[in-house]
Each structure stands twice: as C-alpha cells, then as structure tokens.
Amino acid sequence: MKNSIVLRAVDIGNAEDLSFVKNAAQLLQELVSNGAAIGWVDPPSTEEVASLLRELAIASENSDACLIAIWVDQDLAGVGYWRRYNRPTHHPHADIEKVAIDPRYQGRGLGHQLMNQLISAAINAGIEVLTLDFRGDNTRAAKLYKSLGFTEYGRLPRFVAVGNARYDTIFYALDLR
C-alpha cells in the first residue's frame, strides 16, 4: 500500500489548531531528545512551539514568513519554515530557520519536497536570497542543500558545543534572483 504524501502551507487557523500544535511539538521534542541539531539544546515545551507557530502564522499574513507541513497519511511527518529578515536593508532576504523530518520518514525524499515548497513560496513572496545554517556534522543536510543549489558562504569553526564535542556552524545561501 502506497502512502499518501501531502505538503501544504499552514495558515493561521491551522497554526492555532490544538492537534497541529500538539503534533508539531511532539515531533520537535522527539527530534531534539534524540540529538537533532534543529536549534534547541533541550526539547521545546508545547507552549514554546505554540508561541512560535502563532508568530509564524501572523508573519505569514504579510508574506514575512512561510510555514510548510508535510503529512504521510495522517501523520505529521515534518515541518519547515522561513522568516524574512526584519531590517529594511535585508527585507528581500529570508532565513530558513527550521527543517525537521520525523526519523520514521527520513530517507524518502520528504526533506527535498519540503525544501522545494519553501523555496517556491520564497520566490512567490519576492525573496531574493534564502539563507540557512546547520551544524557541521549534519552531512545529510549539507548534501540536500547542495543538491538544491545552496552554496556555502561562511563557517564558524567549533562554534556549537554539545557537551565536550564541538562542531562548526555552516552558513549556506541560495540566490533566487
């Protein structure tokens, strides 16, 4: 039996939907608990995720953010979002702040599909340059981003500390002009 895969932008109604918030929080909490480098040292609380989703939903009303969710059948399999830079001189640029895929669905091309949707939404919003950063040991992410045309524009050696381990932070950009 083939799984049904659905990607869609999350509108303000869905972002405030309690089941979506709960599922998104569970996904992010599980990923962080298992060591995923997605921006949190400790798993975020459900309230923190709800607040983030509200901020993104409000910003998306003015095309200043885009939140995309991907479902496999009825399971929330991943989320990703970009947010436009606030400074007027950087307004044509946005940062992909989070791409998170449930480990059960990794390796199936969902990250690629999710990124393509984020890029497409950025183009439609008039974004000129998309940026992102990731932990240097995340070779799967690096491979994905390179396959989509992102190029490295900077690196902070040994910037991320996880216990005694140190990792580079790598910065990538995609010029959409």
The band of 9, judged by pLDDT with boundaries at 50, 70 and 90, is low
What pTM does this model have? Answer: 0.90
Distance between CA atoms of residues 128 and 153, nearest Å: 16
Q: Which range marks the domain in which residue 68 is found?
A: 5-175
- Tell me the average pLDDT across 20-32: 94
Instruction: Say yes or no to pLDDT of 13 above 90.
Output: no
- Quote the pLDDT of residue 74: 85
The values of phi and psi at residue 2, to 5°, are -85, 140
Beta bridge mates, 95 = 83, 131
Query: Integer distance in angstroms from the first to the last C-alpha of the chain?
Result: 41
The band of 52, judged by pLDDT with boundaries at 50, 70 and 90, is very high
Structure tokens at 1: 């039996």
Q: What is the pLDDT of residues 142-161, one digit of tens each?
A: 999 999 999 999 999 999 98
The band of 4, judged by pLDDT with boundaries at 50, 70 and 90, is low
| CATH number of domain containing 142 | 3.40.630.30
Q: Are 109 and 119 in contact (CB under 8 A)?
A: no
Kindly state the percentage of the chain with pLDDT values over 90. Answer: 72
Q: What is the pLDDT of residues 86-140, one digit of tens each?
A: 887 778 999 999 999 999 999 999 999 999 999 999 999 999 999 999 999 999 9
Residues found in the chain: 177
User: In terms of DSSP H, where are the helices of 34-172?
Assistant: 46-60, 110-124, 139-147
- Tell me the average pLDDT across 2-9: 64
Token pair 């240097």 is found at: 136
Distance between CA atoms of residues 166 and 90, nearest Å: 30
Distance between CA atoms of residues 158 and 165, nearest Å: 9
Tally of domains in the chain = 1
Distance between CA atoms of residues 45 and 2, nearest Å: 34
